[in-house]
Structure 1
Amino acid sequence: MGVHNVMEDVVRDTLLSYKSNMNLACDCEQCLNDITALALNEITPRYIANSKYSPYIRATHQADQQGATMILTVITKAATLVSQSPRCENYIAQPEH
């Protein structure tokens, strides 16, 4: 397995659960990855070296209401930034007048 940041899974799962409520300009894989990366840069990582600890870390974050709200807030902020300026090939910027 190597070393893994469990917060990657937590952020990705949260993003996928709430993306329909976020009014994203685009929800392609590139934009979702950009949102995930921006959010992860704001969240303290939780590394594990054994996958058997992943459910424990995930459950801890799901049970912590304040922590879960903070994660959703960070993801929403990242989604807003990406939606304002998507970098994907699917988005065609409108010319400014």
Structure 2
Amino acid sequence: MKVHNIMEVVVRDVISKYKNELNMPCTCDHCMNDVLAMTLNNVKPQYIVEESNSAYIRAVHEADRQGATAILTKVAWAAGIVGQNPRCYNMKNPSDH
């Protein structure tokens, strides 16, 4: 059996779209994955079985202004926490870069 949490794709899209506006001190893959994980832990998962339903569900989330705003708010919250407490190598040893 294989299922997929479509919210992972939705949240990734939001992070990509607003990456520059998040004002994070580091936007490396590790920091962005931390933002993704924190956000996903705070949104309701939506699992799909057929990948063909992916586009429809993503479109519904984008069209739902309140839902889209709620996700963006959670992404911004997670980015704030990660930005204040980066766990990546870049920020732990900034003199090395």
Larger proportion of helix: 2
Report the TM-score, using the length of structure 1 for normalisation: 0.92
Question: How big is the shift at 1:93?
Answer: 6.5
Q: What CA distance in whole angstroms lies between the structure 1 residues aligned with 2:56 and 2:12?
A: 17
Report the identity percentage: 50
**1:1-97 aligned within 5 A:** 2-92=2-92
Moved over 3 A (4+): none
Structure 2 runs not aligned, ≥5 long: none
Q: Which amino acid aligns with 1:61?
A: H
Number of residue pairs aligned between Structure 1 and Structure 2: 94
Q: Which amino acid aligns with 2:38?
A: L
Question: How big is the shift at 1:22?
Answer: 1.0
Structure 1 runs not aligned, ≥5 long: none
Q: What CA distance in whole angstroms lies between the structure 2 residues aligned with 1:62 and 1:16?
A: 14
Report the TM-score, using the length of structure 2 for normalisation: 0.92
Q: What CA distance in whole angstroms lies between the structure 2 residues aligned with 1:2 and 1:32?
A: 26
